[in-house]
Amino acid sequence: MSFSRHHLLGMKGLTREEIEVILTTAESLKEISFRDIKKVPTLRGRTVVNFFYEASTRTRTSFEIAAKRLSADTVSLSASTSSLVKGETLIDTAKNLEAMNPDVLVIRHPMGGAPHLLSRFIRASVINAGDGLHEHPTQALLDMMTMREKKGTLQGLQVLIVGDLTHSRVARSNIIGLKTMGARVMAAGPPTMLPPHLEAYGVEVGYRLEEFIPRADVIMMLRLQLERQQQMLFPSLREYSRFFGLQPGNLKKAKKDVIIMHPGPLNRGVEIHPEVADGPYSVILDQVTNGVAVRMALLYLLLGGEKK
Ligand code: CP
């Protein structure tokens, strides 16, 4: 199996074989993070620039840790401390970063398609770390790695995604990736938060959380993204929590080996009850651990893998 892409812009277009290569590579690189000396020389002399136009804790930190564990040099830049605040455009910013000859540019941007645009202007590999409402491919890959680790396979796995799918780039990337890998995807949420035509992507849609819970092998709760909603899409947070928040009581009807996922950050007490988030079915922190491994795998594969 080989991986010959130069950029990772989305889950769309990735083949089953390519996803398999990324996950298998991540699985083999994961143990490096548990050594006493958490570093290998694989990407020595390479430079990774993390450019985040939006806030991030997990994605930004894990890209930086992933690059350092492979011995790459890293630079992190945020919109508020760059010359964007003086009016420099995205493309000019990228061209100036490119002039310093980095090998990888990791970008998070509020505009869907920003990483795709940059990939046309610069030679470095571009990795999409989340673009607007569009995609968050590395989150989907770490989610799939976690599901595969806990459940053995993605083929035939029943995955329930709950909440604000309309504003969720995590959901979009997961749906594309999971369907490619042969999983069954169900979506539950208020009608105002479920995008039209989900069924056309092979997703089973429902408006009641309880109807899907008994069938789910995986329950993925989404963050309520109030900052992206133009208007309130439900009457109150309390009502949302009551009908679409995952409560301890919901799990009485779940499979005994169900796993609970959430991409973070959590709105505790809104989409997920703290007892569920911290409870025995939760794999939320495993997702974060696997985020480092998946990002190590991508840096390794995009920069040539074994070929170099
Ligand atoms: N899941 C995720 O993207 O988290 P951050 O926004 O903290 O990076």
| Nearest residue by C-alpha to atom 1 in ligand 1 | 263
23 with 3: CB under 8 angstroms? no
Question: What pLDDT, in 10s, does the model give residues 280-294?
Answer: 999 999 999 999 999
Instruction: Residue 104: name the closest of 53, 50, 143 by CA.
Output: 50
Q: Give CA 282 to chain center in angstroms.
A: 17
Q: Is 287 in the pocket of ligand 1 (CB under 6 A)?
A: no
Which ligand 1 atom is at minimum distance from the Cα of 136?
3
Angle at 120 between CA 117 and CA 126, to 5 degrees: 75
Query: Which residue matches tokens 């994961």?
Result: 30
Which ligand 1 atom is at minimum distance from the Cα of 60?
8
Q: Is 128 in the pocket of ligand 1 (CB under 6 A)?
A: no
Give 58 Cα–ligand 1 centroid separation in angstroms: 5
Question: What pLDDT, in 10s, does the model give residues 37-50?
Answer: 999 999 999 999 99
Q: Where does the pLDDT of residue 233 fall: very low under 50, low under 70, confident under 90, or very high at 90 and above?
A: confident
Give 132 Cα–ligand 1 centroid separation in angstroms: 13
Q: Where does the pLDDT of residue 1 fall: very low under 50, low under 70, confident under 90, or very high at 90 and above?
A: low
Letter string b/e over residues 97-126, b meaning 16 or more CB atoms within 10 A of that residue's CB? bbeeebbbbbbbbeeeebbbbbbeebebbb
CA distance 72 to 261: 30
Per-residue model confidence (pLDDT) at position 48: 98
Question: What pLDDT, in 10s, does the model give residues 39-91?
Answer: 999 999 999 999 999 999 999 999 999 999 999 999 999 988 899 899 999 99
Question: What pLDDT, in 10s, does the model give residues 208-224?
Answer: 999 999 999 999 999 98
Residues 6+ apart with CB under 8 A from 160: 186, 187, 188, 212, 213, 215, 216, 218, 219, 220
Per-residue model confidence (pLDDT) at position 234: 75
Q: Is 137 in the pocket of ligand 1 (CB under 6 A)?
A: no
Per-residue model confidence (pLDDT) at position 305: 66
Which ligand 1 atom is at minimum distance from the Cα of 263?
1
Per-residue model confidence (pLDDT) at position 2: 77
Instruction: Residue 146: name the closest of 159, 136, 135 by CA.
Output: 159
Per-residue model confidence (pLDDT) at position 272: 97
Residues 6+ apart with CB under 8 A from 14: 137, 177, 180
* 226 pLDDT above the threshold of 90: no
Substitution site in 52, 139, 223, 228 for ligand 1 pocket (most atoms within 8 Å of beta carbon): 139
Give 181 Cα–ligand 1 centroid separation in angstroms: 23
Least confident of 123-132, 194-203, 251-260, 270-279: 194-203
Percentage with pLDDT > 70 across the chain: 96
pTM: 0.96
Percentage with pLDDT > 90 across the chain: 89
Give 245 Cα–ligand 1 centroid separation in angstroms: 20
Q: Is 173 in the pocket of ligand 1 (CB under 6 A)?
A: no
Per-residue model confidence (pLDDT) at position 236: 82
Maximal C-alpha separation, the chain: 57
Query: Phi-psi bin for 34: left (phi > 0), alpha (psi -120 to 50), beta?
Result: alpha
Q: Is 57 in the pocket of ligand 1 (CB under 6 A)?
A: yes
Strands annotated E in the chain: 47-52, 73-78, 104-109, 125-131, 158-162, 184-188, 203-206, 218-221, 259-261
Per-residue model confidence (pLDDT) at position 268: 96
Per-residue model confidence (pLDDT) at position 308: 42
Q: Is 225 in the pocket of ligand 1 (CB under 6 A)?
A: no
Per-residue model confidence (pLDDT) at position 273: 97
Q: Is 263 in the pocket of ligand 1 (CB under 6 A)?
A: yes
Question: What pLDDT, in 10s, does the model give residues 148-178?
Answer: 999 999 999 999 999 999 999 999 999 999 9
| Nearest residue by C-alpha to atom 3 in ligand 1 | 59
What 3-state class would DSSP assign to 98?
A: helix
What crossing angle do the helices spanning 16-29 and 169-180 adopt, rounded to 10°? 110
Per-residue model confidence (pLDDT) at position 81: 87
Question: What pLDDT, in 10s, does the model give residues 23-32?
Answer: 999 999 999 9
Mean residue pLDDT across the chain: 94
